[in-house]
Amino acid sequence: MTPTEVFDTYWRFVVERQAIYERRLTDPRGPWTADPILQQYKFTNVFRAADRVSQHLIREVQYRVDRSQAPVEVVFRTLLFKFFNRIETWELLERTLGPLSWQSTDLSKVEAVLDAAMIRGERIYSAAYIMPAPALGRQRKHANHLALLTKLMADGLPGQIATARSLREVYERLLAYPGLGPFLAFQYSIDLNYSSVLAFDEDEFVIAGPGALDGLAKCFDDLGGHAPEEAIAAVVDDQEREFAARGLDFSGLFGRRMRLIDAQNVFCEISKYARIAHPGVRGVSHRTRIKQNYRPSCAKLVAPTFPPRWGLRTDAPVRAVPMRGLQKALAEQGLLL
């Protein structure tokens, strides 16, 4: 594969974006970075499981102590949450209907609550990625998603997922349903794999989404005949060597190295970052602006929750990541305002 200058930025972005996350765990006030692009625009975390929505899914939807861990309930809650991918929607439903479960929740009442929210002008879907409506004969998008969830449950999908022999099998079962293309089916497979129902290796396989394909096109002039997913796997395999070659200190997520889903995620983020840092590198989407500005919050991040089987010591003291030298490096790259 033939790397471009953006590939070097990829690794520096990983280190600084993760450092911002670590600084926020110990310092609610900031500043958390001297990078003007990261100061101005919104970027997800390096590790997908550390993002706000994933954290809510893991902590409140999947593993909260008063939630049933029966596969039928875990799969139901996970997919109901992820179809909307919005914390406020989940909280609205539980505030109105009580704890959500397959055994006790009437999905017609869920639909009525969402109808009322739309009439009030409230947003019920996340803007993180496009959620196409499955064509199941309903007038409204959310009604079609609820009809899809009903079909998934009636087909016995939770049991099929619980007995799957690989992460790819979970993905293929999801992919068979309308409205769940390759990208969403893969994302939902990863979300289900956070839960107690599954325990597959996240490095088993990956699906490159549209943003990641653009990021790959910016990082490499030529993939050397490799598929995008093979390129992502190569980046994951070589990460320690790439950090060391640049003299970068990266300890991962409480010691956990980047996995395929994380590297895929970063390619999507570098696609955006490069629009400002490397405006002459066009990629395949030809977008030139970053839509979402960063709105800082002075609230200290709550202690993170990750799948217990990962064995991460999140109670250990978080290192204070220094910013010394960052301003000089950025100035040399012409990135400081």
For residue range 77-94, list pLDDT tens digits in order: 999 999 999 999 999 999
Interval 275-279 mean pLDDT: 94
Which tens digits make up the pLDDT trace of 216-239? 999 999 999 999 999 999 999 999
pLDDT, residue 210, reads 93
Report the number of secondary-structure helices (H) and strands (E) in the chain. Answer: 15, 2
- Average pLDDT over all residues of the chain: 91
Interval 46-61 mean pLDDT: 97
- pTM for the full model? 0.91
Q: How far apart are the first and last CA of the chain?
A: 33
DSSP state of 221: E
- What confidence tier does 321 reach under pLDDT thresholds 50, 70, 90? low
> What residues contact residue 231 under an 8 Å CB cut-off, 6+ apart?
1, 216, 220, 223
Is residue 52 predicted with pLDDT exceeding 90? yes
Can you say how many angstroms the Cα of residue 84 is from the centroid of all Cα atoms in its chain?
14
Identify residue 234 by its one-letter amino acid code.
A
Tokens 């349903």 locate to 177
Is residue 319 predicted with pLDDT exceeding 80? no
Highest mean pLDDT among 145-154, 280-289, 291-300: 145-154
User: Which of 221, 217, 219, 214 has the alpha carbon at shortest distance from 287?
Assistant: 214
CB neighbour burial string for 9-22, b if at least 16 within 10 angstroms, e if fewer: bbbbbbbbbbbbbb
Q: Which residue has the higher pLDDT, 297 or 52?
A: 52
User: Which of 74, 79, 111, 76 has the alpha carbon at shortest distance from 93?
Assistant: 111
Interval 303-330 mean pLDDT: 72
- DSSP helix/strand/coil, 220: strand
- What confidence tier does 337 reach under pLDDT thresholds 50, 70, 90? very low
- What confidence tier does 320 reach under pLDDT thresholds 50, 70, 90? low
Q: Which residues pair with 256 in a beta bridge?
A: 253
**Alpha-helix residue ranges (DSSP H) falling in the chain:** 5-26, 36-40, 52-56, 71-84, 87-97, 107-119, 141-154, 157-162, 167-175, 182-194, 210-219, 228-237, 239-245, 260-277, 326-332
Is residue 155 predicted with pLDDT exceeding 70? yes
Q: Which residues pair with 293 in a beta bridge?
A: 41
* Cα-Cα-Cα-Cα dihedral sign, residues 19, 64, 312, 300: positive
Is residue 299 predicted with pLDDT exceeding 90? no
Is residue 158 predicted with pLDDT exceeding 70? yes
- List the single range of 25-39, 175-189, 263-277 with lowest mean pLDDT: 25-39
